[in-house]
Structure 1
Amino acid sequence: MENFNRLNDLYFKKLLGDKKRKNLTLSFLNGILNKDDKNCFTDISFLDKDNEPLTLDGKLSKLDIRADLNDGTQVDIEVQVCPFKLMAERSLYYWSKMYSEQLEKGAEYKKLKKAIAINLLAFDYLEDEQDWHNIYNLLNEKSHKKLTDHIEIHFLELPKFTLKDMRKIRASEAWIAYFSGKYSKKELEEIAMTTPAIKEAVEFEDTFLQDKIERRAYEQREKAIRDYYSYMSAFKEEGLQQGLQEGLQQGLQRGLQQGLQEGIRKVAINLLKANMSIDFISQNTGLNEQEILHLQQLITK
C-alpha cells in the first residue's frame, strides 16, 4: 500500500504495543536509547493506559505506550502526528505522572526508578535544533553536570531525519527510517540486513494490510486525521476572513471619526478667526473650553 502511514495510532500500537512483538519494542527502545549488547534492556511489561482525546468527538487521540523495563525503568512512547506547540510542557507533565505513580503512600524515595519519555513527532518542533534526535536532562547551568539521571526526555522529529549512509546505519536510524515513510520497500529490505527487527516489522505490516478489518479501521483513522486538518484549515481561513472584515470596519469607523474630529477643529478655528465667543463655538462644535483655548493658542503662534 503506497503512502502507508506507520504512525497511524492503531497500527503503531499493534506493532510496538503488543506483548506478542515485544522484541520489536525492545529493539526500538534499545536503539533510541543507544544501548549495546552488554547493557541493553532484555524484557518489557506493557501497562494499559487510556488515550487522551485530541478532539471533542474523540476521533483523534494522543497515542502512548507505557511500559516497565526489566531494571525497573519506566518508559512512555508518545506519537504525535498533529503539530502541537506545547509538546515540552505536555511531555514533562506526563513524565511527572509516570515518575510519581511509582511510589505508593509512605514508600521510600530510594525505590524510585528512572523515567524516560520518548516523543515521536511527525512535524518540526525544536526550531533551534538541527538534529532529528534531541535528549533533555536536568543539568547545572554553570557546570552542565547532571543533577540526576532519573529524568530523560527525547524528541524524535521525523521531518529532520535523513539517512546518510545505509551501510553504517544504527538501530535508531533504521527505526526512524521505517517510521518516516521516506524509503521504499526495497530500501527497507537493505536496511533490514543490518537491523533484522525491521524485516519483521515490514512482514507484520504486510499481514496487517491484508486483514480487511484492520485495514478498514486504519483507513477510518486516517480519514479522521484528514478531516481534522481540513476542519482546522477551514476554521483558520474563516477566522482570517472575519478578522479582516472586522479590521476594515474598525479602520473605516476610526477614519470617519478622525475625519469628523478634524472637520470640527477646522470649523472651530474659523469661528475663532471670526472673533466668535468661546461659548458660541462650544455650543456649535461640541468642543469644551479647554480644547477651544488650545486651538486659539495654535492660531496665535
Structure 2
Amino acid sequence: MENFNRLNDLYFKKLLGDKKRKNLTLSFLNGILNTDDENCFTDISFLDKDNEPLTLDGKLSKLDIRADLNDGTQVDIEVQVCPFKLMAERSLYYWSKMYSEQLEKGAEYKKLKKAIAINLLAFDYLEDEQDWHNIYNLLNEKSHKKLTDHIEIHFLELPKFTLKDMRKIRASEAWIAYFSGKYSKEELEEIAMKTPAIKEAVEFEDTFLQDKIERRAYEQREKAIRDYYSYMSAFKEEGLQQGLQEGLQQGLQRGLQQGLQQGLQEGIRKVAINLLKANMSIDFISQNTGLNEQEILHLQQLITK
C-alpha cells in the first residue's frame, strides 16, 4: 500500500503496544537507548490502556505507549504527528507524571526508578540541532555532570533522518527508517535482511493490510484525521479573516498598523470562541491559537453567560 502511514495510531499501537509483539518493542527501545548485550532490556509490561477511547479532540495527535521494563525503568513512547511548539514542556509534564506515579503515599524515595520519555516526531522541532536523535538529562550548568540518571528525554525527529550506510545500519536507524516512510519497499527489504525485528514488522504490516477489518479501520482513522484537520484549518482561517476585516474597519479610524494587530487578536479570539463552542479541549485551543489557559477560561465564561 503506497503512502502507508506507520505512525497511524491504530497501527502503531498494534505494532509496538501489544504484548504479543513485545519483542519488537524491546528491539525498538534497546536500539534507541543504545544498550549493549549485557545491559539490554529483556522484558516489558504494558500499562493497560485498551479501554481508552479514540477521540477527535485535542489529544488526537498524541499517542503514547506506557510500559515498565524488567529492571523497573519506566518508559513512555509518544508519537506526535502535528507540529507543537511546546513539545519540551509537554514531554516534561508527562515525564513528571510518570515519575511521580511510581510512589504510593508514604513510600520511600529510594524506590523511585529511572523514567525515560521518548518522543517520535514527524516534524522538525529542535531548530539548533542537526542530528535526528537528541537526548536531554539534568546536568550541572558548569561541570556538565549529571545530577541523577533518573531523568532522560529523547527527541527523534523523522525529517532529519538520513540513512548514511546501509551496510553498517544500527537497530535505531533501522526502526527510524521504517517509521519515516522515506524508503522504498526494496530498500526496506534490504534493511529487514540485516535487522530481524524490521523483517517481522514488515511481515506484520502485510498481514495488517490484508485484514479487511483492520485496513478499513485504518482507512477510516486516516480519513477522520484528514477531515478533522481540514475542518479546523478552515475554521481557523474563517475566524482570522472575519477578525481581520472587523479590525481593519476600526483601524481606518485608529491607524492601519493598530487595526491589523487588533484584527489579528480579534480573529484569534473568534477562533478560540468557535473552538470552545465545538467542545474542543483547552490544551488543543491553546496549541492552535497561542492563548494561555486563563485567557481561554475567560472567553469560556463570556459565552456561557
Normalising by the smaller structure, the TM-score range is: 0.7 to 0.9
Could you tell which deviates more after superposition, 233-242 or 110-119? 233-242
d(CA) in 2 for partners of 1:273, 1:207 = 42
User: Relative to structure 1, is the Cα distance of residues 245 and 297 closer, same or farther in structure 2, using a 3 angstrom cutoff?
Assistant: closer
Could you tell which deviates more after superposition, 260-269 or 146-155? 260-269
Q: In the TM superposition, what whole-angstrom CA distance separates every residue of 1:205-256 from its partner, at most 9, and x where no partner exists? A: 0000011111111011111221122123213322332243123212222399
Could you tell which deviates more after superposition, 268-277 or 40-49? 268-277
Contact 2:65 2:78 in 1 (8 A): yes
Residue 294 of structure 1, CA deviation: 44
User: Relative to structure 1, is the Cα distance of residues 203 and 290 closer, same or farther in structure 2, using a 3 angstrom cutoff?
Assistant: closer
d(CA) in 2 for partners of 1:279, 1:49 = 21
Could you tell which deviates more after superposition, 187-196 or 279-288? 279-288
Which residue does the alignment assign to 2:229? Answer: 229
Q: Secondary structure at the match of 1:53?
A: coil
User: Relative to structure 1, is the Cα distance of residues 42 and 286 closer, same or farther in structure 2, using a 3 angstrom cutoff?
Assistant: closer
Residue of structure 2 aligned with 1:266, choices 270, 287, 290? 270
d(CA) in 1 for partners of 2:300, 2:48 = 81
Residue 36 of structure 1, CA deviation: 1.4
Which residue does the alignment assign to 2:204? Answer: 204
Contact 1:3 1:181 in 2 (8 A): yes
User: Relative to structure 1, is the Cα distance of residues 272 and 154 closer, same or farther in structure 2, using a 3 angstrom cutoff?
Assistant: closer
Bigger Rg, structure 1 or 2:
1
Contact 1:31 1:172 in 2 (8 A): yes
Contact 1:53 1:61 in 2 (8 A): no
Could you tell which deviates more after superposition, 50-59 or 258-267? 258-267
Contact 2:115 2:151 in 1 (8 A): yes
User: Relative to structure 1, is the Cα distance of residues 249 and 151 closer, same or farther in structure 2, using a 3 angstrom cutoff?
Assistant: same
d(CA) in 2 for partners of 1:283, 1:47 = 27
Could you tell which deviates more after superposition, 224-233 or 174-183? 224-233
Q: Secondary structure at the match of 2:194?
A: coil
d(CA) in 2 for partners of 1:155, 1:86 = 13
Could you tell which deviates more after superposition, 273-282 or 63-72? 273-282
**Which sections of structure 1, spanning at least 5 residues, go unmatched?**
none
User: Relative to structure 1, is the Cα distance of residues 54 and 155 closer, same or farther in structure 2, using a 3 angstrom cutoff?
Assistant: farther
User: Relative to structure 1, is the Cα distance of residues 106 and 178 closer, same or farther in structure 2, using a 3 angstrom cutoff?
Assistant: same
Q: In the TM superposition, what whole-angstrom CA distance separates every residue of 1:8-60 from its partner, at most 9, and x where no partner exists? A: 00000100011111100000000000011121101111112379889765893
Aligned residue pairs: how many?
301
d(CA) in 1 for partners of 2:287, 2:155 = 70
d(CA) in 2 for partners of 1:244, 1:98 = 43
TM-score for both structures, normalised by structure 2: 0.80
d(CA) in 2 for partners of 1:214, 1:93 = 33
d(CA) in 2 for partners of 1:87, 1:119 = 9
Contact 1:30 1:40 in 2 (8 A): yes
Which residue does the alignment assign to 1:154? Answer: 154
User: Relative to structure 1, is the Cα distance of residues 135 and 50 closer, same or farther in structure 2, using a 3 angstrom cutoff?
Assistant: farther
Give matches, 1:44-83, under 5 Å: 44-49=44-49, 60=60, 62-83=62-83
d(CA) in 2 for partners of 1:257, 1:131 = 37
User: Relative to structure 1, is the Cα distance of residues 97 and 50 closer, same or farther in structure 2, using a 3 angstrom cutoff?
Assistant: farther
Residue 107 of structure 1, CA deviation: 1.1
User: Relative to structure 1, is the Cα distance of residues 137 and 51 closer, same or farther in structure 2, using a 3 angstrom cutoff?
Assistant: farther
Contact 1:75 1:115 in 2 (8 A): yes
d(CA) in 1 for partners of 2:94, 2:153 = 11
Identity among equivalent pairs (%): 99
User: Relative to structure 1, is the Cα distance of residues 88 and 53 closer, same or farther in structure 2, using a 3 angstrom cutoff?
Assistant: farther
Contact 1:79 1:120 in 2 (8 A): yes
Q: In the TM superposition, what whole-angstrom CA distance separates every residue of 1:131-165 from its partner, at most 9, and x where no partner exists? A: 11111110011111100000000111111111111
Contact 1:53 1:60 in 2 (8 A): no
